[in-house]
Structure 1
C-alpha cells in the first residue's frame, strides 16, 4: 500500500505545484547558503526529511533549491520512520556513493525544529539550528543544537567554521 500512496502523493504534488509555489516560500538565504556550500570542496548536500523522495524533490524544485542537492544520497520517509535513522541513511548513502570515509561527526544537519535537533544528536551529527520563527533560537539551543542562527543569511561564517573543524564560536555565532 505504501508504494501506491507514494505514487499518488507525488502525482498530487505535481498537479498542485502552482499552489505550492503561491502558498510557500524559500527561507531567506537558503539558495545562497546552498550555493556557497556547493563551492566548498568535499561538501555533499542532500536532504533528510519525512517526505517521500519524489515529494521532497518537487518541493525543493518549486522554490529553486534543488540545484545543489544530491537527492540519491538523502534519507526519506520511505526509508524509515525514525528521523535519526534517516540521518544515518543519508550518511551511509554518501559513503557508498562517494567511497569516502564519512564519519557521522563529519556531517552537518541543518534544521529548524527541536525534532531536527534531536535527530541529529541521536545520530551523532552536529546540528545547525535555524530559528525560522516557529521555534526560537533559545528553544533550539535548549534542545541541544550545536549552534543556532536567526536565519540562513547569517549562517555563512558558521558554515565555514564548522567545515574547517573549528568550534562554533570561531565562526562568530554562538551556540
Structure 2
C-alpha cells in the first residue's frame, strides 16, 4: 500500500459548528465597526476566510482594522465553549481513530478557515492532534491554491511525495470537488453540510457518501 494523503475540510465535513464562525465574525464586526449582522447575506460555504471578510468590508465600505481578527478569535473561543455550538459529524472520530492503525494513511487540513479559527473550532472536541499541518484561509487566494498548499505542507511534514491518485480531497461542497479536478487528485464528497447528496453528485466527485458512518466503506475505497 502506497502512502495516502487525506485532505480534510472542516465545517460540514469534520464538524458541524452551527454557524459559530458567522456568529463570531458578526460580533467582532459589530465591536469594531458598530454594524450588526454584517455577514448576513455573504456566502461562506467552501470559501476562504480572507475573501469572506473582504466581501464584508467592501459591502459596508469600511477598511480592515488590525484588531478585527484579534477580537474575532477571542469571541470564537468563547462561542465554541458552549456545548451545543460544535458537534463532530457521524463517523469522523471512528475514521480518525482507526486510521492510526494504518501508518500509511496521513491527514492534513484543507480549509477556508484561517489557521487560528480552524484550530479553535477543532479544539472543542480535541481533534487537532490528528491534523499536524494543512492549508488555511489566512491569505486571499483561490480555494484550490489552499488545497495545493495543504498537499505541499503534508509532503514536507510526512517527508513523502504522494502520487496524485493517492491524494483524496474530502469535503462537503462543490468547491472541494472542483479543487480535486483542478489539481488532478481524487475527491470524496460527503453530504453532511449545506449541499444535498444529489446536488453534490451532479458535480461528479470520484466518491460520494451521505455521511461517513460507513467507515468500512470509507477505508475500502482507500
User: TM class, shorter-chain normalised?
Assistant: 0.7 to 0.9
Query: In the alignment, what sits opposite 1:95?
Result: 155
C-alpha distance in 1, partners of 2:125/2:165?
29
Q: Number of residue pairs matched?
A: 159
Instruction: Choose the corresponding residue for 1:53, options 108, 115, 125.
Output: 115
Report the 3-state secondary structure (helix = DSSP H, G, I; strand = E; otherwise coil) of the residue aligned with 1:45. strand
Larger radius of gyration: 2
Report the 3-state secondary structure (helix = DSSP H, G, I; strand = E; otherwise coil) of the residue aligned with 1:47. strand
C-alpha distance in 2, partners of 1:67/1:75?
16
C-alpha distance in 2, partners of 1:25/1:131?
16
Give the TM-score normalised by structure 1.
Answer: 0.79
User: Which blocks of at least 5 consecutive residues in structure 1 are unaligned?
Assistant: 163-175
Relative contact order (C-alpha < 8 Å, sep 6+): which is higher?
A: 2
C-alpha distance in 2, partners of 1:59/1:31?
15
Report the Cα offset of residue 15 of structure 1: 2.7
Q: Is the contact made by 2:190 and 2:197 (CA closer than 8 Å) also made in structure 1?
A: yes
User: Which blocks of at least 5 consecutive residues in structure 2 are unaligned?
Assistant: 1-63
Q: Cα gap change, 1:2/1:142 in structure 2, threshold over 3 Å: closer, same or farther? A: farther
Report the Cα offset of residue 4 of structure 1: 4.6
Query: In the alignment, what sits opposite 1:168?
Result: none
CA RMSD of aligned residues (A): 2.1
Which structure dedicates a bigger proportion of its chain to strand?
2
C-alpha distance in 2, partners of 1:22/1:11?
18
C-alpha distance in 2, partners of 1:11/1:133?
25
